[in-house]
């Protein structure tokens, strides 16, 4: 067996151990026959996450799945491996975008105000929690846009505000409309995703207007140089059109790659930003 294959097998073994328990790096390294520093580097290179980040994401995924299925919050926290509610409320709530109790079964107990408005890029559904805008969906069919919101938060309190006439929603709707029109705007956001997704989305929001980055460059920037496909997946999972500018990410050869809201719109927005 060659050296590269042996290394892959050891890394796959490390991942299985992380899937089955919560070993520390110091425990994991001797179990797979690598030094801690070598395991850290190679695991991150292969899977796009450090062992600790992989474990955290697995636990969060387990928690979210249990909450979606209606499990008791305390039981879900324990089964996911958090040990105590304080552990997830300290770190997990930020990753969920809301507390576990409110994320349970699709955001039950969460109040989300939303409206559909005509913008420079067509119809846009804008939804916001008390922390910030959590969804900006574009499309031609208002019923499809509303269905996407219900799919994401099926048990949240979803309050539609006609034409955005609401002291809370109205200024956020105006800010989003400005952003979609290509004007400078400060849009408070509530990013709801995994730790890795949020790391990618944060990197996207630092790309200057009029410039692009490749998926590989974003992967390099966030410290996961081999996670190009994971970066592309995080871009595809973005629910905040334009404000989280996944349209500024292209393939290494300069071609557009994919875009949740269609390549013609991606091309149009990029040309507008370059011209500005």
CA dist 62 and 68 (Å) reads 10
- Position of tokens 């328990």? 21
DSSP 3-state of 204: helix
Strands (E) in the chain, as ranges, are 111-119, 122-128, 133-138, 157-160, 213-214, 249-250
Structural tokens at position 52:
């600790």
Instruction: Give whole-number Cα distances, 266 to 152, 245, 261, in Å.
Output: 24, 10, 8
In angstroms, the Cα distances linking 276 to 184, 210, 219, 270, 273 are 11, 7, 27, 10, 5
Three-state DSSP at 209 gives coil
Query: What does residue 192 show for φ and ψ, rounded to 5 degrees?
Result: -115, 105
What distances in angstroms separate CA 17 from CA 43, 58, 93, one per listed residue? 13, 12, 26
Residue 128, H or E segment: strand 122-128
Catalytic residues: 246
């Amino acid at each position: 067996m060659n050296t590269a294959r042996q290394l892959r097998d050891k890394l796959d073994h490390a991942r299985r151990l992380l899937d089955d328990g919560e070993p520390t790096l110091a425990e994991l390294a001797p179990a797979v026959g690598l030094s801690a520093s070598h395991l850290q580097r190679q695991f991150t290179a292969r899977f796009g996450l450090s062992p600790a980040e992989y474990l955290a994401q697995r636990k969060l995924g387990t928690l979210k799945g249990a909450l979606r299925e209606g499990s008791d919050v305390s039981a879900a926290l324990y089964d996911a491996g958090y040990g105590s509610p304080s552990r997830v409320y300290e770190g997990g709530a930020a990753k969920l975008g809301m507390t576990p109790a409110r994320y349970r079964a699709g955001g039950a107990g969460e109040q989300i105000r939303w409206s559909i408005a005509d913008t420079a890029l067509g119809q846009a559904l804008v939804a916001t929690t008390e922390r910030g805008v959590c969804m900006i969906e574009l499309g031609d069919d208002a019923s499809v846009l509303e269905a996407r919101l219900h799919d994401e938060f099926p048990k949240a309190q979803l309050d539609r505000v006609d034409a955005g006439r609401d002291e809370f929603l109205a200024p956020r709707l105006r800010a989003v409309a400005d952003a979609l029109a290509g004007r400078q705007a400060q849009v408070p956001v509530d990013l709801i995703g995994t730790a890795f997704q949020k790391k990618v989305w944060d990197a996207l929001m630092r790309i200057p207007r009029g410039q692009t980055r490749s998926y590989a460059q974003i992967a390099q920037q966030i410290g996961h140089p081999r996670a190009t496909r994971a970066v592309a997946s995080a871009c595809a999972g973005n629910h905040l059109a334009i404000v989280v500018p996944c349209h500024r990410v292209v393939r290494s050869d300069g071609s557009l790659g994919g875009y949740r809201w269609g390549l013609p719109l991606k091309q149009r927005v990029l040309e507008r930003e370059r011209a500005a």
